[in-house]
Amino acid sequence: MKRNRTILLAALVVIAAGTLFFLRGRDRGVAASGTATQTEPAAIAAAGRVEPVSEEIRVSAEVSGKLQAVLVEEGDRVAQGQVVAQLENTDYRARVASAEAMLRENEAALRRTVNGARAEERREALATLKAAEAVLENARIEAERRRQLAAQGVISREEADRYEREFRVARARHDEAQQRHALVEADAREEDRSRAEAEVALARARLEEARALLEKTLVRSPVSGVVLRKHHKAGESVSTQFDSPIVTVADDSKLRVRIDVDETDVGKIRLGQQAYVTADAFQGRKFWGRVIRIGRVLGKKNIRTDEPTERIDTKILETLVELDDGRQLPLGLRVDAFVLTGSSPPSTPSH
């Protein structure tokens, strides 16, 4: 009897001890769960893809033609305005030379109009006028003398008339020389000057047009960054009639991640929220950043996973996260993004 009581008492002690241990363990679990909740803020998970701050820029030529040279290779660093390709441009250079010659010709014509005749032409006109005046005076004297002799009957009327005709010819030549001298000495007329100035302006505009067309045969990078792809090589033709990029460049001075936020989470996204991304290739390392842009229209998924059960009919909201320092991430890398929605994100994120 005593033995049964002893066994019963021992069993009760074991049961009580187990119950107490269980209750204490549960309390510790609840406390630990509460602590984790306080230290780990809530986050929205979304798939994303790394892209440059400028996105990808497909650089094409502004004129059609054959490529004389493509001066860069994939992976090369380029500066803004650097020539990355050149089209054959012999005909464009000839147009520029022709326009320059036309401009010089019209500028010379304008100077002649404004400045008038040269000093040599002025002296020549004056000498011609003086000679005409001398001839006219001599013809006048001879005609007068012949009239008097004809009146006295010394010479015939016919001879007197002949000297009279010579006098009229001399007077006409004098008038012509006088007009020539006046024209050489006169200032340019306003309409002549305006016409000459217009010709110069037109020639200058044609030169600028020819130079602009020549410049378009030099394909320049619109940004400083890296060459992502080279689409054409020297000898191939490009056209403005269809999409014909020569190279693709990007400004990778800053990196962004374009993430697909599920429609059920769009109400939790705010500008300026902290976020981080991880990638399998970097063994779970966190690359921190912040939300800088939130889309306004829901759309289809941009980023697909390899899961066969993935729903592709889900609506998403495109959101951009700018990384503080993600230079190690290759462009186009698929990452997992987490946007912190809690009120107390970590104060010292690990980069």
Identify the band that residue 179 occupies on the pLDDT scale cut at 50, 70 and 90.
confident
Task: Please name the residue that has the structure tokens 């503080």.
Answer: 324
- Show Cβ contacts of residue 116 under 8 Å, excluding neighbours closer than 6 positions: 184, 185, 186, 187, 188
Return the bridge partners of 225, or none. 78
Task: Please name the residue that has the structure tokens 């992976």.
Answer: 75
Q: Which range, of 2-11, 88-97, 172-181, 308-317, averages the lowest pLDDT?
A: 2-11
Q: Which range, of 163-172, 178-187, 272-281, averages the lowest pLDDT?
A: 178-187
Residue 338 per-residue DSSP state? E
Q: Does residue 335 register a pLDDT over 80?
A: yes
Nearest partner of 80 among 51, 57, 48, judged by Cα: 57
Rounded to an integer, what is the distance from CA 47 to the centroid of its chain? 33
Mean pLDDT of 205-228: 95
Answer positive or negative: Cα dihedral of 318, 322, 327, 329. Answer: negative
What pLDDT shows up at residue 224?
A: 94
For the chain, what percent of residues have pLDDT higher than 90?
41
Identify the band that residue 184 occupies on the pLDDT scale cut at 50, 70 and 90.
low
What pLDDT shows up at residue 169?
A: 86
Identify the band that residue 40 occupies on the pLDDT scale cut at 50, 70 and 90.
low
Q: Does residue 295 register a pLDDT over 70?
A: yes
The per-residue pLDDT for range 299-325, each reduced to its tens digit, is 887 776 655 545 565 788 899 999 998
What pLDDT shows up at residue 284?
A: 77
Homologous superfamily (CATH) of 43-54+252-340 is: Efflux pump adaptor protein, beta barrel domain (2.40.30.170)
Rounded to an integer, what is the distance from CA 295 to the centroid of its chain? 27
- Higher per-residue pLDDT: 283 or 347: 283
The top-level CATH class assigned to 57-89+215-250 is: mainly beta
Q: Which range, of 96-110, 134-148, 320-334, averages the lowest pLDDT?
A: 134-148
Q: Does residue 95 register a pLDDT over 90?
A: yes
